[in-house]
Amino acid sequence: MIESYFKSPNRDFTLLHGDSCKLLREFDFKFNCIFADPPYFLSNGGISVQNGQIVCVDKGEWDKGMTPQKVMEFNMEWIGLCRENGYLTHYVAVLQRVLLQIYWDDTFWALTKKKSF
């Protein structure tokens, strides 16, 4: 059962909280549009400089790196939740890298699915 995290007072939208891939499967339909801000998989003990200070860039277990194959499987999972002629949009350029990787790594997939983009 899907539990709402927040419902707007006039009920024109509902926010859900949780693993998007699991939540989206709870619906009995596929989506026309998926807005993605997927994990960057950058939390591997790296550092950055912020306001002149060295800081850790680890965001948490959810952002830990995986093998290239596992990253591809993860991306194919959430992309597959969009309907055949649906749209993918994104907040960050990481989706461009994901889509290019899919295109170059699996030409057959790109040729059969490119009309979906």
Long-range contacts of 111-115 (CB under 8 A, 24+ apart): 115/85
CA distance linking residue 106 with residue 7, whole number of Å: 40
pLDDT tens per residue, range 7-56? 999 988 888 888 888 888 888 888 887 777 767 777 777 777 888 888 88
Which letter does DSSP use for residue 81 in this model? T
pLDDT of 92 > 90? The answer is no
pLDDT at 104: 63
Number of other CB atoms surrounding residue 72 within 10 Å = 16
pLDDT band at residue 66, thresholds of 50, 70 and 90? confident
Average pLDDT over the chain reads 77
pLDDT of 77 > 80? The answer is yes
